[in-house]
């Protein structure tokens, strides 16, 4: 993952109510929820600090009303922040004119929401090409690009279908293709799969991971489902009452929750689903007979059966370099630890 910063957000606030900007400016200390409530204000986003790295899937999660959707809308300036700073590709997003902002959204940001918002009178091809049409791209070029995206999301052959003729999962694929047709630098997804039934949702998560492995986009993904978050995320920000209470990898959240609130989110998630082999392997790898090679980044749950069936250990590899070994005993030990906790 490229570690350069694509988006940098510092001390971001979104407060609803009269004279919110004055209230923040005139205070000598950071207001808490009680101070906001006393002033008749609602702190939808409070003192948010985060950095989004190029190429990562950054998940923002929390319960309904935690502020996650408001935060994302602030990051794209669909909602105007009350205070703070946002730098996107080194540029001050909050100082941009409306015209400059529209250009950034059209050409550098892609967005997918829970509601598919497809245009019912347009075909799949026309829906996907629509953002390029708005930009004034010639028909042949925009339709060629749209066809490429339709193929990428697995809808080849459905180009001339209308939204009403598609399943929910197919409609969401059209929405995804439309958001990618302009080749955005930053891709926002706001609970894109929550309206789908569980089987289709799992299928779309698989599709999402497949697309990311191919396209390597920088993604901000909102969900209230922790299992979805740990499956998709490189890092997760957990929000509560408008505040980011912890930012960490899925493994760090499960093994070292920063607050009781985070611990409640993570307590029912099996550690084997989030802990990587690199965490529990035996360090070092001598010459010998091994059952095979496994990636250091693989989750324990994904290889537990394979390792459990072998009497020999496996080598753990970081790229092409052996860095340790994993055997049946270490897998079983982690599983027993999880059972004792439960």
Q: Rounded distance, CA 91 to CA 237, Å?
A: 23
Are 50-270 and 272-341 equal in CATH topology?
no
Q: CA nearest 51: which of 272, 298, 320, 247?
A: 247
Here the tokens at position 145 are 């690009």
Q: CA nearest 82: which of 14, 9, 11?
A: 14
pLDDT band at 1 (very low <50, low <70, confident <90, very high): very low
Residues 6 or more apart in contact with residue 93 via CB below 8 angstroms: 75, 77, 86, 87, 101, 104
57-96: pLDDT as tens digits: 999 999 989 999 999 999 999 999 999 999 999 999 999 9
Q: What is the dihedral of CA 3, 210, 307, 225, to 10 degrees?
A: 80
252-266: pLDDT as tens digits: 999 999 999 999 888
Domain boundaries, the chain: 50-270, 272-341
Here the tokens at position 58 are 């950054």
Regarding the domain delimited by 50-270, which CATH topology (the fold level of the hierarchy) does it fall under? Answer: Rossmann fold (3.40.50)
- In this prediction, what percent of the chain has a pLDDT beyond 70? 98
Sort 124 into a burial class: Cβ within 10 Å, 0-12 / 13-18 / 19+.
buried
Instruction: Check whether 195 has a pLDDT greater than 80.
Output: no
Instruction: Give the mean model confidence (pLDDT) for residues 175-190.
Output: 92
Radius of gyration of the chain (CA): 23
Q: Rounded distance, CA 16 to CA 81, Å?
A: 10
Of the options 1.20.1340.10, 3.10.580.10, 3.40.30.10, 1.50.10.20, the CATH number for the domain spanning 272-341: 3.10.580.10
- State the average pLDDT for the chain: 91
100-113: pLDDT as tens digits: 999 999 899 998 88
Look at residue 335 in the predicted model and tell me its pLDDT: 83
Look at residue 209 in the predicted model and tell me its pLDDT: 92
118-170: pLDDT as tens digits: 999 999 999 999 999 988 999 999 999 999 999 999 899 999 999 999 998 89
Instruction: Check whether 2 has a pLDDT greater than 60.
Output: no
């Amino acid at each position: 993952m490229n570690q350069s910063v694509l988006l940098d957000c510092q001390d971001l606030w979104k407060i609803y109510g009269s004279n919110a900007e004055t209230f923040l400016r005139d205070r000598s200390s950071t207001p808490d929820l009680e101070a906001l409530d006393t002033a008749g204000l609602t702190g939808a986003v409070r003192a948010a600090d985060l950095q989004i790295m190029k190429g990562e899937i950054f998940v923002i999660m929390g319960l309904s009303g935690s502020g996650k959707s408001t935060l994302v809308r602030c990051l794209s300036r669909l909602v105007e922040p009350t205070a703070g700073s946002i730098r996107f590709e080194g540029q001050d997003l909050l100082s941009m004119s409306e015209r400059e902002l529209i250009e950034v959204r059209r050409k550098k940001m892609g967005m997918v929401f829970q509601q598919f918002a497809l245009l019912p009178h347009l075909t799949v091809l026309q829906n996907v090409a629509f953002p390029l049409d708005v930009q004034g791209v010639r028909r042949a070029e925009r339709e060629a690009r749209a066809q490429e995206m339709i193929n990428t999301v697995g809808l080849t052959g459905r180009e001339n279908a209308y939204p009403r003729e598609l399943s929910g999962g197919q409609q969401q694929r059209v929405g995804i293709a439309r958001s990618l047709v302009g080749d955005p630098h930053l891709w926002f997804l706001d609970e894109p799969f929550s309206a789908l039934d569980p089987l289709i949702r799992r299928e779309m998560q698989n599709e999402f991971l497949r697309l990311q492995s191919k396209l390597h986009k920088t993604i901000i993904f909102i969900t209230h489902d922790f299992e979805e978050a740990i499956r998709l995320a490189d890092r997760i920000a957990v929000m509560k009452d408008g505040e980011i209470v912890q930012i960490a990898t899925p493994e760090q959240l499960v093994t070292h929750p920063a607050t009781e609130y985070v611990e409640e989110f993570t307590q029912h998630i099996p550690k084997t689903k989030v802990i990587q082999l690199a965490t529990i392997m035996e360090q070092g790898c001598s010459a010998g007979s091994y059952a095979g090679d496994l990636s250091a980044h693989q989750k324990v749950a994904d290889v537990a059966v394979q390792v459990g069936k072998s009497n020999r250990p496996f080598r753990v590899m970081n790229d092409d370099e052996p860095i340790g070994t994993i055997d049946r005993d270490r897998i079983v030990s982690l599983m027993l630890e999880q059972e004792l906790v439960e």
